[in-house]
Amino acid sequence: MTGRQRILTCMLGFDTELADGTPLHDAGAEEWHAVLGEAAAVGFDAVEIADSHIRPGDLSPSALGDLGDVARETGVDLLSLHVQRRSVIMPGLGQENLAYAHRSIDAAAELGIEVFSTGLHRPFTEAQRRSLWFWTAPGASDPDDPEIRELAVTRLRELGSHAASVGLEMSLEVYEDTYCGTADSAIALIEDIGLDNVGLNPDVGNLVRLHRPVDDWRETYRRLLPHANYWHLKNYARDEAGDGSWWTSTPSTLELGVINYRQVVRWARELGYEGHYTMEQYGGDSLGVCAVNRRYLEGLLADQANLGRISPLPEPNEKRAS
């Protein structure tokens, strides 16, 4: 890793509510200390704050100060803020979500956070909430409408400019059925936004888990990595019928899933990727698996630094075995 790069954990391993139903967001410094302390106990010294758990943009000034104090006391740096499922083009809520994103950027800057991470994905549908794994049920889709896409560009550019003005990178997460839903559409979106501090979060795990035909992960990464400025890493075991009649997936460690991160991390290094790495995991002991994945990634980075060899990226559309 470069001196700037860090390995973070997500907050998926922590409950969003206390046993008595109090939201973690409202629980205060003592409970926040317990959460960051547990992350530190498994070896993390940095975390991505997710607004599913704590919404810095909705904290009072004193509570925001408490959160910063807790980070310092536990030795766990708050390096990114992930605002999720608050699309700025969501029907009926787009303007409200835009204002919330602006508050979140200001709060992130106050906390010394470096990356404002967001995307265009929307809240879970009822079918997704009922499913064991939400990606097995259909979610909302961005419309094939040039005017709405242009609205997305305009509002995301507005947020990117705000982020730049307070010293933050902004990263847009690749997520199915949004204007960041494929490599080509995601790249076109950030090119239209046209700001140096706005890049992509190439979370290809969001795509390989889908129960449908998906693009080859190698080709997707080959296209996305040159535009990446922040990175969620997770992996899935994936299987599919040769005749295309069924697909299945389940979360795995980085090492054991269908994506070969030994290859992908080499490609990222070849391209000079300098962003942070955030470990993500759904299901089971999420925090424990994130810690396992951290150690795996640390080993990969050390091995590649010692070898001094980096594999070149494959040529586009090269024939590959799945």
Give the HSE-up count for residue 59: Cα atoms under 13 Å, Cβ half-sphere. Answer: 27
Residue 318 banded pLDDT, cuts 50, 70, 90: very low
> What is the residue range of 260's domain?
7-307
Asked if the structure places residue 2 within a domain, the reply is no
Asked if the structure places residue 319 within a domain, the reply is no
Long-range own/partner contacts, residues 30-36 (CB < 8 A, 24 or more apart): 32/66, 32/67, 32/70, 33/70, 33/73, 33/74, 35/11, 36/70, 36/71, 36/74, 36/76
Helix (H) or strand (E) run with residue 129 in it: helix 126-130
Structurally, the chain folds into a number of domains equal to 1
Asked if the structure places residue 314 within a domain, the reply is no
pLDDT digits (tens, 9 = 90+) for 258-285: 999 999 999 999 999 999 999 999 999 9
Asked if the structure places residue 316 within a domain, the reply is no
What letter represents residue 227's amino acid? H
Asked if the structure places residue 44 within a domain, the reply is yes
Query: Once rounded to an integer, what is the mean pLDDT over residues 188-217?
Result: 98
Asked if the structure places residue 99 within a domain, the reply is yes
pLDDT digits (tens, 9 = 90+) for 159-178: 999 999 999 999 999 999 99
Domain containing 257 — which CATH number? 3.20.20.150
pTM for the model stands at 0.93
